[in-house]
């Protein structure tokens, strides 16, 4: 896991940030970072804590929340709005700094996408309103066309199966 090039890259960036702020590198933080960036999946603090426990990491919930805050501050992790009650984090902004999210109403699947045209258009609109663009996020809710036309959507089936697995705590 530690030899994963993405994780190595993130750890380097984080440690650079940490040094600049006079903070310290710790194994707990490194473990959490490795877990976050070993997948490209979105996650909640709770889901991440599950992975922490399954990987026999010693990190506590408190450290996990503190590390999430640090990563956000360093710009390595973004909070995204998937509309749930828990905050959702997206680890993919290091690779794709300006991607957006489409959320399937039918199955809940989240599709990431980038589009230069939208990017440029938003930029123009922002300037016309007298502002200097800093960050933009587009969130699209949509229905699965496959489901509608063929009556079946593999993602929906998986989502239903997954929902049976959900048992909090």
Residues that bind a second copy (CB under 8 A): 79, 81, 83, 102, 104-105, 111, 113, 115, 117-118, 121-122, 125-127, 129-146, 148
The entry of DNA, a second copy, none that residue 117 binds, CB within 5 to 8 Å by partner kind: a second copy
Provide the 3-class DSSP secondary structure of residue 151. coil
The distance of closest approach from Cβ of residue 144 to DNA in the complex, given in angstroms and rounded to an integer, is 27
Q: Which residue, 26 or 136, has its beta carbon nearer to DNA?
A: 26
Q: Which residue, 74 or 103, has its beta carbon nearer to a second copy?
A: 103
Q: Which residue, 106 or 108, has its beta carbon nearer to DNA?
A: 108
User: End-to-end distance of the chain based on CA atoms, in angstroms?
Assistant: 27
Q: In degrees, to the nearest 5, what angle opens at C-alpha 95 toward C-alphas 92 and 99?
A: 65
The distance of closest approach from Cβ of residue 6 to a second copy in the complex, given in angstroms and rounded to an integer, is 25
Q: Could you tell me the CA-to-CA distances from 65 to 45, 52, 70, 74, 117 in Å, in that order?
A: 7, 12, 9, 14, 36
What's the CA gap between 160 and 155, in Å, rounded? Answer: 9
What's the CA gap between 89 and 42, in Å, rounded? Answer: 6
Q: Which residues ranging from 38 to 67 are in contact with DNA (CB under 7 A)? A: 44-46, 58-63, 65-67
């Amino acid at each position: 896991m530690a030899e994963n090039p993405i994780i190595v890259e993130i750890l380097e960036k984080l440690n650079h940030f940490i040094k600049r702020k006079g903070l310290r590198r710790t194994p707990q933080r490194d473990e959490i970072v490795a877990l976050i960036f070993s997948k490209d999946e979105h996650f909640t603090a709770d889901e991440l804590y599950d992975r922490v426990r399954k990987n026999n990491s010693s990190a506590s919930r408190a450290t996990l929340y503190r590390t999430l805050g640090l990563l956000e501050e360093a710009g390595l992790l973004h909070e995204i709005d998937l509309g749930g009650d828990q905050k959702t984090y997206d680890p993919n902004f290091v690779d794709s700094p300006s991607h957006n999210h489409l959320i399937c109403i039918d199955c809940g699947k989240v599709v990431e996408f980038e589009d230069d045209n939208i990017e440029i258009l938003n930029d123009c609109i922002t300037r016309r309103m007298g502002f200097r663009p800093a960050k933009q996020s587009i969130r699209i809710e949509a229905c699965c066309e496959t489901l509608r036309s063929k009556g079946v959507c593999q993602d929906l089936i998986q989502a239903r199966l997954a929902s049976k697995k959900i048992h909090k705590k």
